[in-house]
Amino acid sequence: MIDDSAQVTDLMGKIEAQLPIPATPTSATVKQLRAQGLKIGAGRVLFIQRVFYGGDEGGIMCDVTPTKDAKSVLVISLTHLRIAPNHPLSRDIRAYQQQRIRRIAQSNR
């Protein structure tokens, strides 16, 4: 198992209490979204509207759909989003991201 279920449950509860949370996609995520035809700027702020758990494959998933009348939903793994360092959850989120990235790398060996 990649994620610690207690950590995920705790972090998701904290995130839900702070919604919406501004976040920016990583540069790799921006490139991938552009390749899929989505026009998105590198510094574009997206707002996490909702979170759910996508299992070991996705981890904590974030609905960052830009508008309520959007024709499609935009869901990105929390691992591929950056939270401002001054946000109250930035340390918790960064710790989750680092641990997840480390465990994925270990499982791929």
67-76 pLDDT, tens digit per residue, is 777 778 899 9
Residue 61 lies in a domain: yes
Residue 109 lies in a domain: no
Please name the residues in contact with 26: beta carbons below 8 A apart, sequence gap of 6 or more. 80, 81, 82
Residue 50 lies in a domain: yes
Q: Is the pLDDT of residue 4 over 80?
A: yes
Q: Where are the alpha helices (DSSP H) in the chain?
A: 5-18, 27-35, 55-58, 90-107
Residue 64 lies in a domain: yes
The boundaries of the domain holding residue 63 are 5-103
Residue 108 lies in a domain: no
What total number of domains does the chain contain?
1
Q: Is pTM, for the whole model, over 0.85?
A: yes
